[in-house]
């Protein structure tokens, strides 16, 4: 798995990373601020391996876990059916 920090879309944009495997982009993880929380959250978005749809894979405070979730979604998309359908 390769994780690459992407160029920000604007000066105020929060960091976003591209997650890839063997040169194929599988999705992204983006830092998010939720309400007044002092915790940093990471939103994972996977690319469905069959349809190409972008699928929200929820938020977590664990960056590495979100990256692994993107890879896992690519390998086993049916395990994430609640997010796709």
Question: What's the whole-model pTM score?
Answer: 0.89
In the prediction, which pLDDT does 43 show? 96
What pLDDT was estimated at residue 83?
Answer: 60
d(CA 21, CA 39): 28
* Low-confidence spans in the chain with pLDDT less than 50: 85
The CA distance from 25 to 77, in Å, is 15
pLDDT 10s digits, 60-80:
999 999 999 999 999 999 888
């Amino acid at each position: 798995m390769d994780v690459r920090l992407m160029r920000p879309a604007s000066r105020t944009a929060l960091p976003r990373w591209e997650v890839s495997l063997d040169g194929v982009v599988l999705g992204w993880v983006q830092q998010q601020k939720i309400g007044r929380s002092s915790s940093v959250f990471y939103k994972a978005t996977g690319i469905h391996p069959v349809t190409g749809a972008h699928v929200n894979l929820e938020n977590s405070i664990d960056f590495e876990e979100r990256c692994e979730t993107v890879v896992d979604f690519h390998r086993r998309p049916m395990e994430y059916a609640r997010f796709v359908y």
